[in-house]
Amino acid sequence: MKKKGLVIGLGEVGLALFKVLRKHYGEDIDGYDIRDGNSPDGKYEILNICIPYSAEFQKIIQFYYNKYSPSVVINHSTVPVGTTESLGSWAVHSPVLGKHDNMEQSLTQFIKWIGGNSTECEISKNFIFNAGIRCHLVQSASETELLKLFCLAKYGMSIAFAQYQKDVFDQHGFDYADIMIWDKEYNQHVDPTLKRPIMIPPHGIIGGHCVVPGTRILNERYPNDILKEILKYQKIHDTFTAWHPVNIYPTAKIGKDVSIGMFSEIGNNVSIGDRTRIGSGCFIPEGVTIEEDVFIGPHTVFANDMYPPSGKENWEKTLIKKGARIGAGVCVTPGVTIGEKALIGMGAVVTNDIPAGETYAGVPARPIIKNRTIRRVD
Alpha carbon distance 174, 31 (integer Å): 51
Q: Which long-range contacts (CB under 8 A, 24 or more apart) does 316-320 make?
A: 316/287, 317/287, 317/288, 317/289, 318/287, 318/288, 318/289, 319/289, 319/291, 320/288, 320/289, 320/290, 320/291, 320/294, 320/296
Closest CA to 294 of 269, 270, 267, 263: 270
Closest CA to 17 of 25, 27, 7: 7
Alpha carbon distance 59, 134 (integer Å): 30
Alpha carbon distance 160, 150 (integer Å): 15
Instruction: Render 90-111 in DSSP notation, one character per residue.
Output: TEEE----S-GGGHHHHHHHS-
Instruction: Render 242-287 in DSSP notation, one character per residue.
Output: EPSS-EE-TT-EE-TTEEE-TT-EE-TT-EE-TT-EE-TT-EE-TT
Q: What confidence score (pLDDT) does residue 200 get?
A: 78
pLDDT-derived band at 374, boundaries 50, 70, 90:
very low
Taking the chain, what is the end-to-end CA distance rounded to the nearest angstrom?
79
**Quick one: average pLDDT of 90-113?**
91
Q: What is the largest CA-CA distance in the chain?
A: 81
Alpha carbon distance 363, 261 (integer Å): 25
Pick the CATH number of 151-238 from 3.30.70.100, 1.20.58.760, 1.10.1040.10, 1.10.260.40: 1.10.1040.10
pLDDT-derived band at 371, boundaries 50, 70, 90:
low
User: Please, what CATH class does the domain formed by 247-367 belong to?
Assistant: mainly beta
Q: What confidence score (pLDDT) does residue 176 get?
A: 92
Query: What does DSSP assign to residue 208?
Result: S
Q: Is 320 left (phi over 0), alpha (psi -120 to 50) or beta?
A: beta
Residue 181 CB neighbour total at 10 angstroms: 11
Residue spans of the domains in the chain: they are 3-139, 151-238, 247-367
The pTM of this model reads 0.64
pLDDT value at 249 more than 90: no
pLDDT-derived band at 370, boundaries 50, 70, 90:
low
pLDDT value at 235 more than 80: no
**Quick one: average pLDDT of 272-300?**
95
Residue 251 CB neighbour total at 10 angstroms: 14
pLDDT in tens, 189-230: 999 999 998 887 755 444 445 787 888 899 989 999 888 888
Same fold, 3-139 and 151-238: no
Q: 119-145: string of b/e by CB count within 10 Å (b at 16+)?
A: ebbbbbbebbeebebebebbebbbebb
CATH architecture of 3-139: 3-Layer(aba) Sandwich (3.40)
